[in-house]
Amino acid sequence: MMHLNWKRLYACVFSGALMATALTTLVPTTSAWAQAASLPDFADLVERTSPSVVNIRTLEKVSAATDQAPQMDEDMLEFFRRFGIPIPNMPRQAPRNQPQQPRDEEQPRGVGSGFILTADGMIMTNAHVVEGADEVVVTLTDKREFKAKIIGSDKRSDVAVVKIEAAGLPAVKVGDVGRLRVGEWVVAIGSPFGLENTVTAGIVSAKQRDTGDYLPFIQTDVAINPGNSGGPLINMRGEVVGINSQIYSRSGGSMGISFSIPIDEAVRVSEQLRATGKVTRGRIGVQIDQVSKEVAESIGLGKPQGAFVRAVEAGAPADKAGIEAGDIIIKFDGKAVEKSSDLPRMVGNTKPGTKSTLTVFRRGATKEIAVTIAEIEPDKPAVKANSKSAKPPKTSAAQSLGLVVSDLNEAARKELGGKGGVRVESATDAAARAGLREGDIIVALANVTVSNMQEFDSVLAKLDKNKPLSVLFRRGEWSQYTVIRPLK
């Protein structure tokens, strides 16, 4: 009969368990191998695309007198002679009676990135990279250097095109931004802090991010730092989908939020720069704002959409076409205006002289208005209207809302372009909570235009006092909506 040594058996079992645990720890499981294999490998992608990325150095000329170089006085020269110390090779001071001759010196101004757009030397970068530069030097990955000519630069989109005299260069492949998906891997190549051909990777965090008037940016978490500006954002197919342009940072360095100009927008700008050296954009002459959910519901628009017209520039295309302050532009040439920032892009991308159709929501109904697009120009200063009435204030049913209003005099109507309304003499309670104040001009209640006190009282009398009331009013040169909510 065999006797078992329990202590030895326990030790063997325990040792085996430890060995199994150790093996499990040291040797990855099948799922771990699969997970590692699914991570992207950027090596081949970078090898293919990096030759198309360039470093851009800019220089500026500064005036300096000839005696501004480091100099050595006679006492210091004597010190070197006496102790047998070699005298440094430094320029001597010019004689005092000799006039100082100013000269231009080229000093480094900044470092950025760019990428080759065409094989004959067209290079795309950011406008802020080359802005103010007297000389632009482009360095290729093979260390060749070229002096570049600025073909054109557009501050509004922050896109610039420069040209070097070369041929057979490796041009980038332009991708389709429409296919870009949030969560997709992307790579940036550039010269952060002057470190050429630095590669960083991350994912697309968001698309259509509004940070500018004319560009819906691509947001990523790719590490972008000073010097990356103008470099390409590349998808996993090796296609350029954006130009790295901006970062959000509290320290000046990368914080995981960076923005790139969509390549389709950039190419559209570059084509105009290459053709004419400048970018021409359309305009219709309106000041716009967002439409809030509360306002959209109160006026019957349904959902917050479109661009709310706060003011119309006198004599501008919108004014000539009949667009009014208070209109909400919901379509441009049949394309939906989802948010107010869509409209400047749509109009800006339209060639001046083009006849376009605006679909507007006005007083509860939609209307199509034809407008001829003009060329954009510097904004004109707004002229403030003095809308005070000379007549004593009158009371009406408006008092139940906390309002005291009065008719406009002829001078006030003239300043408003002949249009009517009623002037707010005081606002308390519900009206004050809605943001109305003395001097505001109410032009519509619940989508109904009011030109005077009689119309104001008539409209108000027909409304349910227990329901929210949408009010379109004018303050100075601006029109806006508010909602007066009765006390419960």
Residue type, 28: P
Q: What is the pLDDT of residues 117-159, one digit of tens each?
A: 999 999 999 999 998 889 999 999 999 999 999 999 998 889 9
pLDDT at 390: 40
Number of neighbouring beta carbons within 10 Å of residue 89 = 5
Average pLDDT over residues 169-196: 93
**Per annotation, catalytic residue among 50, 113, 154, 158:** 158
Report the 3 state secondary structure along 378-406: CCCCCCCCCCCCCCCCECCHHHHHCEEEE
Pair 72, 88: CB distance under 8 Å: yes
Active-site annotation holds for 3: no
Q: What is the pLDDT of residues 178-189, one digit of tens each?
A: 999 999 999 999
Number of neighbouring beta carbons within 10 Å of residue 65 = 12
Lowest mean per-residue pLDDT among 34-43, 145-154, 301-310? 34-43
pLDDT at 162: 96
Q: How confident is the model at residue 106 (pLDDT cuts 50, 70, 90)?
A: low
Q: How confident is the model at residue 467 (pLDDT cuts 50, 70, 90)?
A: confident
pLDDT at 447: 85
**Per annotation, catalytic residue among 52, 113, 191, 229:** 229
Q: How confident is the model at residue 248 (pLDDT cuts 50, 70, 90)?
A: confident
3-state secondary structure of 343: helix
Query: Is 364 labeled as ligand-binding?
Result: no
Q: Is the pLDDT of residue 37 over 90?
A: no
Tokens of 81: 């002679």
Pairing of strands 239-247, 173-174: parallel
pLDDT at 449: 86
Pair 166, 149: CB distance under 8 Å: no
Query: Is 3 labeled as ligand-binding?
Result: no
Residues 6+ apart with CB under 8 A from 317: 283, 284, 285, 371, 372, 373, 374
CATH architecture of 174-265: Beta Barrel (2.40)
Query: Is 128 labeled as ligand-binding?
Result: yes
Q: How confident is the model at residue 219 (pLDDT cuts 50, 70, 90)?
A: very high
d(CA 376, CA 156): 12
The CATH number given to 397-484 is: 2.30.42.10
3-state secondary structure of 78: helix
DSSP conformation class of 84? T
Q: How confident is the model at residue 61 (pLDDT cuts 50, 70, 90)?
A: confident
Residues 6+ apart with CB under 8 A from 199: 42, 46, 50, 187, 188, 189
282-375 against 397-484: fold identical: yes
DSSP string, 192-216: GGG-TTEEEEEEEEEEEEE-SSS-E
The most distant pair of C-alpha atoms in the chain lies apart, rounded to whole Å, by 124
Query: Is 396 labeled as ligand-binding?
Result: no
Q: Is the pLDDT of residue 317 over 80?
A: yes
**Per annotation, catalytic residue among 67, 120, 128, 429:** 128
Q: What is the mean pLDDT of the chain?
A: 80
pLDDT at 7: 43
Query: Is 349 labeled as ligand-binding?
Result: no
Q: Is the pLDDT of residue 442 over 70?
A: yes
> What topology is assigned to 282-375 in CATH?
Pdz3 Domain (2.30.42)
d(CA 291, CA 297): 10
pTM: 0.63
Burial of 416: CB neighbours in 10 Å, binned 0-12, 13-18, 19+: middle
3-state secondary structure of 360: strand
d(CA 402, CA 227): 58
Q: How confident is the model at residue 82 (pLDDT cuts 50, 70, 90)?
A: very low
Q: What is the pLDDT of residues 391-419, one digit of tens each?
A: 444 445 666 778 888 888 777 777 776 67
- Domain definitions of the chain by residue range: 174-265, 282-375, 397-484
Q: What phi, psi does 22 have (nearest 5°)?
A: -65, -45
Chain CA centroid to CA 128, Å: 14
